[in-house]
Structure 1
């Protein structure tokens, strides 16, 4: 059978088809480029600055200032959607009521709504001895001595009955758990209810109170000789107390990296969580500056 086209004609036809296809593709690309809207240089610069600001905010500071935003490190108890919804509720609560920065060892004044109180409000002043919990279940425990009797109140941080949280003295202690004040003299837990707020240093550094508190004689609420607290002075005990403490001690725990990993939230999760917190903080500061400018504005008076 004789072929319809010779090899020379086939090559010519194939080359013509390729040239037509290339011209069509090039014309389509040119038209697409013309229709595209160029991105303004100002918007690109603003996006770059916003990205840089998100990348440069201090993660360790947020980790210590807002520890309740970190979820439970136990993976069996984590649910990302529930954590996201809970975080939205927490930020919404913070937009309604200001929860200032405070640490264990700071002196706070908390005002809550109380139907049995004379003015429907109850105010308590005390030192924060413990801060624990995750999310909306975060709590803070305040301690004060009233009529020579130690009194402690545990406040849910995001409870709607909490009306105001005021920091009277912003400072840290050598330990993150001050429950040993229960077994110490009451003079270290006594604060006046009419205490005035102390000024914060302009440098922005949080002062660390290095006071060491002595324990009363036994019995205690816990075996503090086994705790290894830095801000606690343990009286001299019998030798058998120290021998039992040595038997139950676990000096290898501080070298157990897997234990530390299981008891901490991954850093990428912390970045995602505190990015939302950082955005909320920035918006709150912007609103406060706007309100401050509005208050400082004085309407001009008409000339008589």
Structure 2
């Protein structure tokens, strides 16, 4: 019995991006009106993520429309949710951002999270950075004092 339930849950799970509280996202949801089907987009900040990574996982998304706060809870693995699109990522120091409900002005803003990746330029790129007709100059440390010589004990 439990294996049948686990099999069903595995079939329902989908690949989703790494959603975190503080992220600004667009949720594309299928809406059925009569015999027609359309996609409605809800854009806002994730203020809560609940129930882990299982089939029952949900996110709460909040946006402000005409100075009225609107919150919707989306099941992450629901077939009615077509996709999640991350617009911006922000640094959140809490897992539940319920304080944003009452915060106004600058207090309702979250700091942007940087995705800086330190990559050294390749050798071919370094050569292209030097103007034509000039050769790259290598730095020499022959005239500079050693680090241990600069510090003397008193």
C-alpha distance in structure 2 between counterparts of 1:101 and 1:115, whole Å: 28
TM-score by length of 2: 0.61
Kindly tell me the number of residue pairs found equivalent between the two proteins: 112
TM-score by length of 1: 0.32
Per the TM alignment, residue 100 of structure 1 is displaced from its structure 2 partner at its CA by 0.9
Unaligned runs of 5+ in 1: 1-78, 190-197, 205-304
Bigger relative CO (Cα 8 Å, ≥ 6 apart): 2
- Over 3 Å counting, the alpha-carbon distance change for 1:172 and 1:83 in structure 2 is farther
The structure with more radius of gyration: 1
Alpha carbons 2:24, 2:44 under 8 Å: kept: yes
Higher strand share: 2
The aligned counterpart of 2:115 is 201
**For 1:162-213, what per-residue CA distance to the aligned partner results, in whole angstroms no more than 9, with x for missing partners?**
1110001123301001112112226627xxxxxxxx9972529xxxxxxxxx
What is the root-mean-square deviation of aligned Cα atoms in Å? 3.1
Alpha carbons 1:145, 1:186 under 8 Å: kept: no
1:123 to 36, 41, 46: 41
C-alpha distance in structure 1 between counterparts of 2:82 and 2:114, whole Å: 23
**For 1:103-143, what per-residue CA distance to the aligned partner results, in whole angstroms no more than 9, with x for missing partners?**
11111100101134x97111011000000025211100000
**What is the correspondence of 1:3-82 to structure 2 with a 5 Å cutoff?**
81=3
Higher helix share: 1
Per the TM alignment, residue 161 of structure 1 is displaced from its structure 2 partner at its CA by 0.6
